[in-house]
Amino acid sequence: MWPTNFYGRSVEVSSRAGNICRRIPPLDHPRQLEEHRCLVYQPTGPSWPFLSGNGVMTVTVHPRMSANDMSVLLEAAKTHLGIALLSNYVALPEIRSGSLVVPLPDFPIPDLWIKAMVPIDRLKMPRVNALLRFIRSKGGGSDSLDARSVRSTAKSAKK
C-alpha cells in the first residue's frame, strides 16, 4: 500500500440573509449552537469540533436536518434552514459571494487529515489518479480559508 496524505479544512456557515431577516443574535461561543437549528453531515455526526484558546472543544448540536451529501446541506443553509458544518471546497464560493457567512470566526474548525491507502499496482490507474488529484485540489491550498481570512470575511460581513 502506498499512503497518500491529504489535508482539508472545514468551516461552519449560515445564511447572511437568514441572520438579518430572522434577527438571530450573533454567536459568541460554539456552545450557543446547542440552541440553534443545525444541519448535520451524517458521516461526521452531530459532534462538531472547534479550536479555542484551551485546545479543541466539541459541541453536540441538535440537528434540524441531516444528510449524507454536503451539497444538500449547502442548499439548506442558503435557504435559511440552519447552520451547517461544511468542507471549505463546498462552502467557499458561497462565502466569497456573500450568500453565506462564518458565524464563529474566532473558533475555527480543526484541520482534517485524510490518508488514502492505495495499492502500488493501482497507482497507475487513471481513475485512481483522478480521485487523488481531486482530493489534493480540494485540500488546504490557496482555495481555502485560514483562520485569518475567516476573521476578515466575518468583519467585512458586519459592515
Note the pLDDT of residue 152: 45
What is the domain range of residue 130? 2-158
Q: Is 132 exposed, middle or buried (0-12, 13-18, 19+ CB in 10 A)?
A: middle
Note the pLDDT of residue 154: 46
Q: How many domains does one find in the chain?
A: 1
Note the pLDDT of residue 58: 94
Per-residue tens of pLDDT for the chain, all 159 residues = 344 333 344 556 665 543 333 445 678 899 999 988 899 999 989 999 998 999 999 999 999 999 999 899 999 988 888 899 888 878 888 888 888 888 888 888 887 777 778 888 888 899 998 988 887 776 654 444 454 444 444 444 444
Note the pLDDT of residue 11: 57
Note the pLDDT of residue 61: 94
Full DSSP string of 50-86: EEETTEEEEEE--EEEEES-HHHHHHHHHTTS-EEEE
Interhelix angle 70-78/88-97, rounded to 10 degrees, is: 20
**Amino acid identity at 66:** S
C-alpha cell at 11: 468551516
Q: What is the CATH number of the domain that holds 147?
A: 3.40.190.290
